[in-house]
Amino acid sequence: MKLIVAVIKPFKLDDVREALSALGVSGITVTEVKGFGRQKGHTELYRGAEYVVDFLPKIKLEIAIEDERAEAVVETITKTAHTGKIGDGKIFIHALDQAIRIRTGQTGKEAL
């Protein structure tokens, strides 16, 4: 099993969710996060004062998936979240040792 963590631009969330649903992905955890990478921050004007926004809003998706479906999920996220501009995001893939469904006690792939 794999845990796929993707950080994407907020306006791409609906597109990515729909593409993953079409792929048969049944569960996604979505978190609103802030961060920066090469995109850095930007300057904003508020009530006449200029200030630097260091952390930009992003969306973090976490998807637990079977090993054999992980590559298709990564490709779908990459294709759907791509804008070609700086700040499109990143995808991290972690090995997932165990998953347990609390309600039923199922473990492993059955818990996904």
pLDDT on residue 74:
98
pLDDT of residue 11: 97
pLDDT at 48: 79
Distance of CA 100 to the CA centre of its chain: 21
Residue-wise pLDDT for 75-105, tens only, equals 999 999 999 998 899 999 999 999 999 999 9
Measured CA to CA, the distance from residue 103 to residue 90 in angstroms comes to: 32
Tell me the H-state helices in the chain. Answer: 13-23, 67-81
Please write the tens of the pLDDT for every residue from 17-36: 999 999 999 899 999 998 87
Mind listing the pLDDT tens digit for each residue in 32-59? 998 877 766 666 677 777 777 778 899 9
CB contact at 8 A, 35 and 56? yes
What's the pTM? 0.86
